[in-house]
Amino acid sequence: MGKLRKRKNARRRKSTSIYFMLWTTFLLFALAIVLLFSFSQNRVVRQTYKETIARELAKSGKEIQSELVLFEQAGGRDYGGFLISRTQKYDVRAFILKADGTLLFPNLDDLTPALSKDVDFAEKIVRLKESLRKADAETGTAVLYEDRSGEYVYGARLPSFGEEGEETYLYISRSLKISESILSGVRSRTVLLAVFVMILSFAVAGSISGMLVKPIAEMTEKAGALARGDFSVDFRGTDYGSEVTALADTLNYARDELSKTDRMQKELIANVSHDFKTPLTMIKAYASMIKEISGGNPEKREKHAQVIIDEADRLASLVNDVLDLSKISSGLDVLKLEDYDLSAYTLEVLEKFGYLADTQGYHFQTDIESELFTRADPAKIGQVLYNLIGNAVNYTGEDKTVRVALKKEGEKILFSVSDSGKGIKKEELASIWERYYRSADAHKRPVKGTGLGLSIVKTILERHRFRFGVESEVGEGSTFYVLFPLVGN
Ligand code: ADP
């Protein structure tokens, strides 16, 4: 027991709170979105940057090219100076190259270290020529392409440079490397966004879990009170969670059932102690009578001793009933199933009521088909039949008639017992099977009753999985029936 409780507690401690669960889920979800967003934003920034560079390079390249023509026409000869000045003006690198990749202008000596760095003109001219060929560009027409080294290149063939017949090219490039400051701007905005999202998920998770947890915590507290025996608790749901409302409804139902059982149990104790008290009082009274009065008179003594025996029997059967029920409903005793003749068995049970026919004028009308075999626990089914017939005797009307029938019905055997009593009200039909339920006038009946009879019947038949029920008409009587399986004999 202690171990079990410990294990349960351990399990409870391990489970996380709804708040934490919601919070982590929200946070992970939000962070995933932020990451996705920042990733796509990075791409967008890079793409836009590239496009801008391409556009600008196309423009400045064209300008440099036409300025070069003008410069040449005006008789300018310092091409190197011209190109270097354009380099600064347009933030590009501008060269005039020969077909074999030799640098024509500006002079290698004039190049700033930044400009000359990593420039492999031989390779670049190959790419440029290839692009021009692909574009089928005529002399003077320009091409724009992305170089493998991460640069955008504006290039054109120049007609009027160098020695006669020698091909020359204008090569202008601009690095595509995105400036760090732009990227770090984007990054810091992402970090800010992530922090904001974290705070937001705290708040949202907090408010949602508050909405969820509050009613559950309330219910836990009330369920605790219910467990301590307070049946006045009322479980309430919320407006925003049908599941929580369903839980509250279920708990309310459990409370009703518990309080009903509790009430019935109290009533049973009152009833049973009353039933115990009556025979005990009688036993005591008659024993005193024998001791003081009838001891010497054998005839009277005999009569009084018989009363004592009868009352002791009643007491014993009452105790048996209570024990039976607790045994059956605890599920401890197993059913001992066997195939047997239910017809013969029913007649045997009926014989026990024979004395009522002989001494108190009861009529038993029987209609029992012979040799109907069933598979069940004979002792338990005996109890069922005894209780049902006993009830019919107890509750039958003035004519003191009880009808018992056992008939084959397809694959089943239908047992029924009818009385002509005042019947059972519709609203009581469901309750009569409940444990401890007793009608008010339970006390002056020929067959002993404890309010447990039908509950024993129900438990036994349910364990057998047999169908059973009652049909009753107020003022006309009731018929209790059971359907047994029919087995070949
Ligand atoms: P008991 O008969 O000892 O009171 P039962 O469990 O056998 O307990 O029956 C429960 C209640 O069902 C009875 O108190 C009675 O109100 C009702 N009942 C049972 N059988 C009949 C019947 N044949 N006719 C009318 N009422 C019945």
Question: In this structure, what CATH number is given to the domain that contains residue 248?
Answer: 1.10.287.130
Angle of helix 378-395 relative to helix 453-464, nearest 10 degrees, comes to 140
Final residue before a domain boundary, out of 294, 327, 360? 327
Same domain, 259 and 374: no
In this structure, which residue's CA is closest to atom 21 in ligand 1?
A: 391
In this structure, which residue's CA is closest to atom 15 in ligand 1?
A: 439
The DSSP-derived string for 403-420 is EEEEEEETTEEEEEEEE-
Question: In this structure, what CATH number is given to the domain that contains residue 468?
Answer: 3.30.565.10
97 falls within a domain:
yes
Highest mean pLDDT among 15-19, 31-35, 149-153, 168-172: 168-172
264 falls within a domain:
yes
Residue 456: predicted pLDDT: 86
Distance set, CA 103 to CA 122, 132, 168, 284 (Å):
9, 19, 10, 136
Same domain, 361 and 286: no
153-204 pLDDT, tens per residue?
A: 999 888 766 556 678 888 998 887 776 777 778 778 888 888 888 888 888 8
Least confident of 8-12, 208-212, 261-265: 8-12
Enumerate long-range contacts of 206-212, CB under 8 Å, 24 or more apart. Answer: 206/19, 206/23, 208/22, 209/17, 209/18, 209/19, 209/22, 209/23, 210/19, 211/238, 211/240, 211/241, 212/18, 212/241, 212/244
Residue 2: predicted pLDDT: 46
Cis (ω within 30 of 0) for the bond into 298? no
The continuous run of DSSP H or E covering 172 comes out as strand 168-175
Same domain, 292 and 260: yes
Q: Could you tell me which residue, 346 or 331, shows the higher pLDDT?
A: 346
Same domain, 340 and 288: no
1 falls within a domain:
no
Ligand 1 atom with the shortest distance to the CA of 421:
24
CB 276 within 8 A of CB 304: no
Q: Could you tell me which residue, 66 or 318, shows the higher pLDDT?
A: 66
Same domain, 163 and 295: no
347 falls within a domain:
yes
Q: Could you tell me which residue, 167 or 225, shows the higher pLDDT?
A: 225
83 class by beta-carbon count within 10 Å (0-12 exposed, 13-18 middle, 19+ buried): buried
Cα 411–415–419 angle (5° rounding)? 150
CB 56 within 8 A of CB 251: no
305-322 pLDDT, tens per residue?
A: 998 998 898 788 778 877
Same domain, 414 and 343: yes
Same domain, 97 and 116: yes
Q: List all residues 6 or more positions away from 91 whose beta carbon is below 8 Å from its beta carbon.
A: 174
Backbone angles phi, psi at 463, to 5 degrees: -70, -30
Same domain, 68 and 216: yes
Assigned token pair, 276: 């115990």
Buried residues in 385-412 as b, exposed as e (16+ CB within 10 A): bbbbbbbbbbbbeeebbbbbbbeeeeeb
Same domain, 314 and 204: no
Q: Is the CB of 439 under 6 A from ligand 1?
A: yes
The DSSP-derived string for 329-361 is HHT-SPP--EEEEHHHHHHHHHHTTHHHHHHH-
Same domain, 319 and 339: no
Count of structural domains within the chain: 3
Report CA(471)–ligand 1 centroid distance (Å): 13
Among 329, 432, 450, the mutation site with the greatest number of ligand 1 atoms within 8 A of its Cβ is 432
Nearest alpha carbon to residue 428 among 404, 454, 446: 454
Final residue before a domain boundary, out of 226, 251, 274? 226
333-379 pLDDT, tens per residue?
A: 788 899 999 999 999 999 988 888 888 889 999 999 999 999 999 98
Q: Is the CB of 278 under 6 A from ligand 1?
A: no
Dihedral sign computed on CA atoms, order 62, 67, 69, 72: negative
Parent domain of 444: 334-485
Same domain, 78 and 142: yes
Among 325, 454, 458, 482, the mutation site with the greatest number of ligand 1 atoms within 8 A of its Cβ is 454
Q: Could you tell me which residue, 325 or 471, shows the higher pLDDT?
A: 471
Final residue before a domain boundary, out of 296, 327, 358? 327
26 falls within a domain:
yes
In this structure, which residue's CA is closest to atom 16 in ligand 1?
A: 439
Q: Is the CB of 65 under 6 A from ligand 1?
A: no
Residue 365: predicted pLDDT: 95
Q: Could you tell me which residue, 444 or 337, shows the higher pLDDT?
A: 337
Q: List all residues 6 or more positions away from 109 whose beta carbon is below 8 Å from its beta carbon.
A: none
158-168 pLDDT, tens per residue?
A: 876 655 667 88
Residue 346: predicted pLDDT: 95
Q: Residue 198 half-sphere exposure, CB side, CA atoms within 13 Å?
A: 7
233 falls within a domain:
no
Question: In this structure, what CATH number is given to the domain that contains residue 73?
Answer: 3.30.450.20
76-124 pLDDT, tens per residue?
A: 788 888 888 888 888 888 888 888 888 888 876 666 655 555 567 888 8
Q: Give the residues across from 324 on adjacent strands.
A: none
232 falls within a domain:
no
Q: How far apart are CA 70 and CA 74, in angstroms?
A: 6
DSSP 92: S
Q: Could you tell me which residue, 441 or 268, shows the higher pLDDT?
A: 268
412 falls within a domain:
yes
Q: Is the CB of 385 under 6 A from ligand 1?
A: no
Same domain, 197 and 155: yes
Residue 239, pLDDT > 60, answer: yes
Assigned token pair, 149: 């080294």
CB 436 within 8 A of CB 269: no
Please give the average per-residue pLDDT across 396-411, as a whole number: 93
